[in-house]
Copies of this chain bind each other. A is one copy, B any other.
Amino acid sequence: MKKIILFLAITLVFVDGIYSQTPEHKLKEMKIELPPVGQPIANYVHVIRTGNLLFLAGKGPSDSKGVFITGKVGKDLTLEEGQQAARLTAINQLAVLKAELGSLTKIKRIVKVLGMVNCEADFKDHPTVINGFSDLMVEVFGEKGKHARSAVGMCSLPRNMAVEIELIVEVE
């Protein structure tokens, strides 16, 4: 009987551990530190809330020093480097969300993503590039991180950044 109780107790702690894991815990586990949110590079703001929706401005792959990953994916950058740029952009957008909301647990759903890849006319692998963004969102938020998405090719982007990604998020 004691063994059964012990087993149940351990199971409960384990299950609790899975389900109570906040996005912030997940980020820590993945060794991702959110950077400070920089100033927009022109006359706009990072995010606007209307009702339960947050509309985020397009952001790109800047590192903690504000240096952007630049170049055209498939030409100046490999597919993997493009994915890394999209992943870095996801981290920057999470930083915006964290600054806006205080806690990422307030996020009910990543709703819609527009992933724009800086590339040439013959590039075809936009979905693979933007998976760098989408995969991170699903890792951090689980089911809540799954979103509707378009991944498309732009002839150019500000500062020649490799990707620019905007999104819509639903909050509680």
For residue A35, CB closer than 8 A to chain B, the reply is no
A149 B44 Cβ-Cβ under 8 A: yes
For residue A34, CB closer than 8 A to chain B, the reply is no
Q: Which of B112, B123, B166 contacts A55 (CB 8 A)?
A: B112
CB interface residues, A 86-131, toward B, < 8 Å:
109, 111-114, 116, 119-128, 130-131
Identical chains bound together, number: 3
**Smallest CB separation, A107 vs chain B (Å):** 12
For residue A12, CB closer than 8 A to chain B, the reply is no
Q: Which of B50, B72, B112 contacts A121 (CB 8 A)?
A: B72
A134 B43 Cβ-Cβ under 8 A: yes
For residue A81, CB closer than 8 A to chain B, the reply is no
**Smallest CB separation, A43 vs chain B (Å):** 4
Assuming the contacts A44-B148, A149-B58, A170-B50, asked whether A121 and B155 have C-beta atoms less than 8 A apart, the reply is yes
For residue A77, CB closer than 8 A to chain B, the reply is no
B42 A131 Cβ-Cβ under 8 A: yes
Residue on B with the closest CB to A153? B156
**Residues of chain B within 8 A of A121, CB atoms compared:** 72, 120, 155-156
CB interface residues, A 139-172, toward B, < 8 Å:
146-160, 164, 166, 168, 170
